[in-house]
């Protein structure tokens, strides 16, 4: 389904489409910093895990958490027509609540940022929040691709971009769009 028609920097027409076959970002990126799991009955957990509920998780990570060897954020879900995930609570108490956690280990932080300093931990936490945001966009169906045309001929295409902001998702750059202006 066509979302919009734009023009690339080179003047070629770019058609942005909904990507109905976009795989989960948890499957796409083997380099996720976090392990993201939920215990929601109606939905599959983003990452496989052995926990049936939050209490099982808390028990398993109690010592690591006390020692500071793991960074953990709660994950909340809002489900009312569409689904959204966040690391902070939603204002609606009726259709939302905590459904899981996303966490990373001290080792993973050191592997990615070179140390376990306060600055590296902040970067890791920001990364965990971004992973939940991207997953939330995917779960809501904000998945896109583009086809670039020279006349009637498709000269380039790519799919698998997640998020409403085509600049942030990388779609605009891949398609050669420097600013949004509409094709004639």
Rounded Cα distance, 127 and 33, in Å: 7
Q: How confident is the model at residue 180 (pLDDT cuts 50, 70, 90)?
A: low
143 within 8 A of 162, measured Cβ to Cβ: yes
The mean pLDDT of 55-82, rounded to a whole number, is 88
Inter-CA distances, 40 with 53, 63, 74, 93, 174, Å: 9, 25, 13, 16, 36
- Counting every residue written for the chain, the total comes to 184
Q: Which of 7-16, 51-60, 66-75, 97-106 has the lowest mean pLDDT?
A: 51-60
13-62 pLDDT per residue, tens: 999 999 999 999 998 767 899 999 888 777 778 888 777 777 888 888 88
131 within 8 A of 36, measured Cβ to Cβ: yes
Give 98's strand partners: 76
């Amino acid at each position: 389904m066509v979302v919009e028609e734009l023009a690339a920097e080179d003047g070629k027409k770019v058609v942005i489409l909904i990507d109905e076959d976009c795989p989960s970002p948890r499957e796409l990126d083997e380099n996720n910093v976090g392990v993201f799991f939920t215990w929601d009955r109606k939905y599959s957990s983003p990452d496989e895990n052995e926990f049936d509920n939050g209490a099982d998780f808390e028990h398993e990570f109690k010592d690591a958490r006390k020692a500071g060897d793991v960074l953990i954020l709660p994950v909340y879900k809002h489900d009312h027509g569409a689904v959204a995930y966040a690391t902070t609570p939603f204002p609606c108490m009726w259709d939302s609540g905590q459904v899981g956690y996303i966490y990373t280990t001290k080792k993973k932080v050191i592997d990615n940022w070179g140390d376990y300093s306060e600055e590296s931990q902040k970067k890791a936490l920001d990364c965990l929040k971004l992973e939940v945001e991207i997953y939330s966009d995917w779960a809501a169906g904000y998945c896109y691709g583009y086809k670039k045309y020279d006349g009637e001929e498709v000269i380039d295409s790519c799919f698998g971009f997640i998020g409403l902001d085509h600049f942030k998702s990388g779609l605009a750059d891949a398609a050669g769009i420097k600013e949004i202006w509409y094709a004639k």
